[in-house]
Amino acid sequence: MATEYFNEMYHGDQVRPPYARLEDWMRAMPAEFRAMKQAEAEALFRRIGITFAVYGEGGDPDRLIPFDMFPRVFTQSEWRRLERGIKQRARALNAFLLDVYGRGEIIRAGRVPARLVYQNAAYERAVAGFTPPRGVYSHIVGIDLVRTGPDDFFVLEDNCRTPSGVSYMLENREIMMRMFPALFRENRIEPVDGYPGLLRRTLASVAPAKCEGEPVVAILTPGHFNSAYYEHSFLADLMGVELVEGADLFVEGGFVWMRTTEGPKRVDVIYRRIDDAYLDPLCFRPDSMLGVPGLMDVYRSGGVTIASAPGAGVADDKAIYTFVPEMIRFYLGEEPVLLNVPTWQCAKADDLNYVLDQLSELVVKEVHGSGGYGMLVGPRASKAQIEAFRARLVANPAGYIAQPTLALSTTPTFVNEGIAPRHVDLRPYCLVGERIELVPGGLTRVALTEGSLVVNSSQGGGVKDTWVLAE
């Protein structure tokens, strides 16, 4: 029997209210005009350099991410609920990080197993006992959400380190407004272009205690060979801050300095887009050429803020994910607004046995995996793939979690044959500093292959503009 998927635009033959004004637009667009607009969008993306690389692959190192012109739409009331749940989750995740690098009350209370935290590869002992400014560890939280019904939203995973993709959220909107100005005149859509200003304000609000005057913010990038380099330079441009590499910074006198044509300039806040392991060769990997020697000493002495903080990754581990509802209850005394996807922890013998029995029905993910890699989508896998994954599970059960194959919602998508439903998810970007804020919208990723549930760009997914209708 075919699975029933919630179509966000249609309820039977009826158009759902949020999409009412898009039906005429869709039906009035001839195939030739659509093809012309698609080519125009691709040319714009190419011209302004919105590309990404997939490591370990040959071919085009600067690949265009597929852009679908059919927007995804939320009502104001739908968004208000999502916003409330996202902010709640961001507060709880930051409370958890502050706790596990401090007294570990949630572990003492028996709510989270100690081994999942202290034996976690993402747990950085170098910051144990340290409280960052305003107690914030994760300053940009990307919460991946999926929808399965009119009122059913689930959190798929949390991204507390350096969630990428916000440049697509901003550029998708810019390109849609340029190509279809009449559509925006006819629909009242909440703007997203305030994000760079909010991000700069958030970063400035967590300046360290030793900061004097207006905080100086810089974005630390691994360099132009990184797959997200476009985003790093794009955000630096829009925020009006410097984009630096490790070699542009040095430590002296308990502060971090930036080399400029006018001499050294002190940096107060570093929005880092490199992994913990490469931040400081004196503290982490000694062979790192990307970081700044001595950076962690300055950080721990209150001379600079690193956003997001080293060690924040322990909160977005997929085994820790299962405990976020408990964190919300423990730290906030509230019930979760947004639910987790039911999850089996393969480290538990009973869970492992169930997963091994049901492999062909489940999605299995590496605890530390990302980008759609290292995962099995049971219903779409061959027998050989399932058996190969079974062997990996038996060899290292603690390295995996499993979840049911969710009936992800679909939205209309322009494909070669015309218009067809394709599965989508959503990544809003929540900023945590003096305040917790997010712009109304996010990055909608779409699985362009018919029947596919994998939306990651590295796995062939595309992106859409995300609309929140104003009241």
* DSSP sequence for 119-159: T-TT--GGGTT---GGG-S-SEEEEEEEEEETTEEEEEEEE
For domain 209-303, the question of CATH label 3.40.50.11290 is answered with: yes
Task: Decide: residue 199, CB within 10 A, 0-12 exposed, 13-18 middle, 19+ buried.
Answer: buried
For domain 342-404, the question of CATH label 1.10.530.10 is answered with: no
Instruction: Count the neighbouring beta carbons within 10 Å of the beta carbon of residue 275.
Output: 18
Q: Is 278 in contact with 329 (CB distance < 8 Å)?
A: no
Phi-psi region of 12 (alpha: psi -120 to 50; beta: other; left: phi over 0): left
Distance set, CA 317 to CA 50, 96, 365, 443 (Å): 29, 13, 11, 21
Q: Is 424 in contact with 447 (CB distance < 8 Å)?
A: yes
Distance set, CA 142 to CA 74, 290, 443 (Å): 18, 24, 10
Instruction: Count the neighbouring beta carbons within 10 Å of the beta carbon of residue 377.
Output: 16
Q: At what angle do helices 166-179 and 31-48 cross, to 10 degrees?
A: 130
* Spatial separation of the C-alpha atoms in residues 325 and 337, rounded to whole Å: 9
HSE toward the beta carbon, residue 439, CA cutoff 13 A: 24
Q: Is 137 in contact with 98 (CB distance < 8 Å)?
A: yes
**Domain locations in the chain?**
10-90+122-191+411-468, 209-303, 342-404
Helix and strand numbers, DSSP H then E, in the chain: 13, 25
- The torsion angles phi and psi of 24, rounded to 5 degrees, stand at -60, -45
pLDDT in tens, the chain (471 residues): 356 799 999 998 899 999 998 988 988 888 889 889 989 998 888 887 776 555 444 445 566 788 999 999 999 999 999 999 999 999 999 999 999 999 999 999 999 999 999 999 999 999 999 999 999 999 999 999 999 999 999 999 999 999 999 999 999 999 999 999 999 999 999 999 999 999 999 999 999 999 999 999 999 999 988 888 989 999 999 999 999 999 999 999 999 999 999 999 999 999 999 999 999 999 999 999 999 999 999 999 999 999 999 999 999 888 899 999 999 999 999 999 999 999 999 989 999 999 999 999 999 988 876 655 678 888 888 899 999 999 999 999 988 999 998 889 999 998 887 889 999 999 999 999 999 999 999 999 999 888 887 787 766 789 999 999 998
Task: Decide: residue 29, CB within 10 A, 0-12 exposed, 13-18 middle, 19+ buried.
Answer: middle
HSE toward the beta carbon, residue 179, CA cutoff 13 A: 26
pTM of the model: 0.93
* DSSP sequence for 217-244: EEEE---TTSTTHHHHHHHHHHHT-EEE
The closest alpha carbon to 316, from 462, 155, 81, belongs to: 155
Report CA torsion sign: 44, 46, 49, 53: positive
Whose tokens are 């499993």? That residue is: 402
